[in-house]
Amino acid sequence: MTLTALHDLFLRYPIVSTDTRKIESDCLFFALKGPNFNGNEFAAEALEKGAKYAIIDEPGFHEEGKTILVENVLETLQKLAIYHRNHCKAKIISLTGSNGKTTTKELIHAVLDKKYRTIATSGNLNNHIGVPLTLLTIKEDTEIAIIEMGANHQGEIAFLSGISQPDYGYITNFGKAHLEGFGGVQGVIKGKSELYDYLMANDRYVFMNADDPIQREKLAPYIKKIGFSTHNHDFYQIRPVKTDPFVVIEFEGLQIETQLIGEYNFSNCAIAITVGKYFNVPKRDIKLALEGYRPANNRSEVLKKNNHTIVLDAYNANPTSMLAALKNFVTMAGAPKVLFLGDMFELGEASAQEHQKITDVTADLGFHHVYLIGKNFSQTKNSFQKFEDFQKIADHLKENPLEPSTILIKGSRGMALERLLDLL
């Protein structure tokens, strides 16, 4: 079957599934392979559950009139996404960066949705499978699609940019994330910058934080740039009013009171304002969108539980986001302050050094009630309480319940520190 014919079929049955547990009637099932599974083996099950066709790449699973045999299912999914992206009229905004991608995506979506028919990446479907799946949710009447792109090694953002072919793009920041895969901080900068490289090579527009020295240097010779700054009058003037506990922003005479905590969320809000202004979303609608947004999914949520005030930021962590969270938390009102810090993953050879740096900063900031959780933090040198695994901290809290406190919970996704909520 040709790609054009497959796309025609997709337009008739525009729901794509890669998981037999989530089959919808008349969907197209793409039998992807992974390290521990072979989707071809589930094709029959997908058809029984209501899939219209199953796209497979092993002849042994072929059923006449029910399966479509291709050379490689993953490559076919990616090529179909590219074809569909070029078939539709939607403008594409792609986002990447070390921290804040998902929050920024959701803020931009909230703003643009006030005026346009807009879709955005669901959850964190931001890799070589998730980006194609997101592109395939674009409808004929979709006007703007916001595509989040994640990466843990060089070349990946360039590859994803080739699939999404963005008209616009933004890099949230360059931080100490996935150091093991990128090969250090310079590798992170090079890898994330692949989005700007694509945009500049194809004469597309870039959104930027004009106060970020790396972005300023990278984009200095480029003309098609739209950005924000707290002081540079060549860009939209957007300023933080305060960040304790929530970010309040001043923009063109408006004061926007968000439900996001931390100075680190200022730039996420500022770029959403910038994108909204560029696309002529009325200022009042921008204000309504940002003030109406509530963080979820363990990302900088402020919760009240059993007389505790809890900042739950347990979706992910790296040295840059951990440092930002600590510096924000020290400025927050409330006492006593208690920290639960979980291991940061994918740091490679820098892991021991980066974990030690975080504990040194924690001590320098004057925090005393600190619980360090995980093998990496347990090996640091300090006077804080250390627990090698979650069960040990759970046992400790059951025997030593906390008095009402202001609490920060921060750690990598694999630590699943949101489980602490049931213990507080």
270 and 333 belong to one structural domain: no
How would you write the pLDDT of the chain (424 residues) with one tens digit per residue?
899 999 999 999 999 999 999 999 999 999 999 888 999 999 999 999 999 999 999 999 999 999 999 999 999 999 999 999 999 999 999 999 988 899 999 999 999 999 999 999 998 789 999 999 999 999 999 999 999 999 888 899 999 999 999 999 999 988 776 777 677 788 888 989 999 999 999 999 999 999 999 999 999 999 999 999 999 999 999 999 988 778 999 999 999 999 998 888 999 999 999 999 999 999 999 999 999 999 877 777 888 888 999 999 888 888 988 998 999 899 888 889 999 999 999 898 999 999 999 999 999 999 999 999 999 999 999 999 999 999 999 999 999 999 999 999 999 999 999 999 999 8
Residue 136 has which token pair? 């395939």
Q: What is the CATH number of the domain that holds 399?
A: 3.90.190.20
Q: If you search the block for the tokens 């070589």, which residue do you land on? A: 128
Domain-embedded: residue 418: yes
Mind giving me the DSSP string for 313-334? Answer: E-S---HHHHHHHHHHHHHS--
Domain-terminating residue out of 292, 312, 338: 292
Q: For position 264, what pLDDT does the model report?
A: 85
Domain-embedded: residue 146: yes
Domain-terminating residue out of 273, 292, 311: 292
Domain-embedded: residue 219: yes
238 and 310 belong to one structural domain: no
188 and 276 belong to one structural domain: yes
Single out the residue of 225, 227, 189 nearest to residue 210, CA to CA. Answer: 227
Q: What is the CATH number of the domain that holds 56?
A: 3.40.1390.10
Single out the residue of 302, 330, 305 nearest to residue 404, CA to CA. Answer: 305
Distance CA 346, CA 189 (A): 16
144 and 168 belong to one structural domain: yes
Residue 380 has which token pair? 């640091």
275 and 370 belong to one structural domain: no
Which residue range forms the structural domain that includes residue 193?
Answer: 88-292
369 and 268 belong to one structural domain: no
190 and 114 belong to one structural domain: yes
Q: For position 106, what pLDDT does the model report?
A: 96
Q: For position 153, what pLDDT does the model report?
A: 84
Phi-psi region of 267 (alpha: psi -120 to 50; beta: other; left: phi over 0): alpha
The angle, 0 to 180 degrees and rounded to 10, between the axes of the packed helices 101-112 and 266-278 is 30
Domain-embedded: residue 81: no
226 and 317 belong to one structural domain: no
Q: What is the CATH number of the domain that holds 113?
A: 3.40.1190.10
Q: For position 175, what pLDDT does the model report?
A: 73
Domain-embedded: residue 76: no
29 and 168 belong to one structural domain: no
DSSP structure class, residue 293: -
Mind giving me the DSSP string for 195-241? Answer: HHHHHHHTT-EEEEETT-HHHHHHHTT-SSEEEEESS-TTSEEEEEE
Domain-embedded: residue 82: no
255 and 355 belong to one structural domain: no
Count: domains in the chain? 3
Query: Phi/psi at 342 (nearest 5 deg)?
Result: -105, 160
Query: Which residues, listed in sequence order, are joined to residue 373 by a DSSP beta bridge?
Result: 342, 387
**Helices first, then strands: H and E counts in the chain:** 16, 21
Per residue in 158-198, pLDDT tens? Answer: 999 999 999 999 999 887 767 776 777 888 889 899 999 99
**What's the angle, vertex CA 131, arms to CA 71 and CA 66, rounded to 5?**
40
110 and 215 belong to one structural domain: yes
Domain-embedded: residue 80: no
Distance CA 208, CA 206 (A): 6
pTM tops 0.75 = yes
135 and 43 belong to one structural domain: no
41, amino acid identity? E
Q: Confirm if 262 and 326 have CB atoms less than 8 A apart.
A: no
Domain-embedded: residue 83: no
Q: Confirm if 177 and 323 have CB atoms less than 8 A apart.
A: no
